[in-house]
Amino acid sequence: MENRLRHKFIAQQPVSDPYEGLISVFHPDVVSVEANKTKPRTSDTNVFENHYLLPLTNTTRRKEGEDSFVQNGLFGFETNFHTFTDFALVKLNWY
């Protein structure tokens, strides 16, 4: 799907759905099935330590059931976005 969208973008062809392939992480359907929550690892921790250059320790890894996309929901997203953009886009009319 992503490659098809990239080809359309390169060829400057119109796309029928501009939101195709995006996941609304704050949509009630996503929240209701807990797709936005952290799932437990089922593998041995030694596998991760040998596979990753800088593996997370148990204290820095998110706990089961915590928000996995953005901490503190929409408020956390807005806080991170404003920090990232240095409040440059605060007065922009998004509609």
Q: What is the pLDDT of residues 40-50, one digit of tens each?
A: 766 665 666 67
CA 78 – CA 72 distance, rounded (Å): 10
CA 36 – CA 73 distance, rounded (Å): 10
pTM of the predicted protein model:
0.40
Q: What is the pLDDT of residues 45-72, one digit of tens each?
A: 566 667 777 777 778 877 888 877 777 8
Which pLDDT band, with edges at 50, 70 and 90, does 7 fall under? confident
Q: Which two tokens stand for residue 13?
A: 């062809």
pLDDT at 41: 67
The neighbour count for residue 78, using CB atoms within 10 Å, is 13
Q: Which residues pair with 67 in a beta bridge?
A: 37
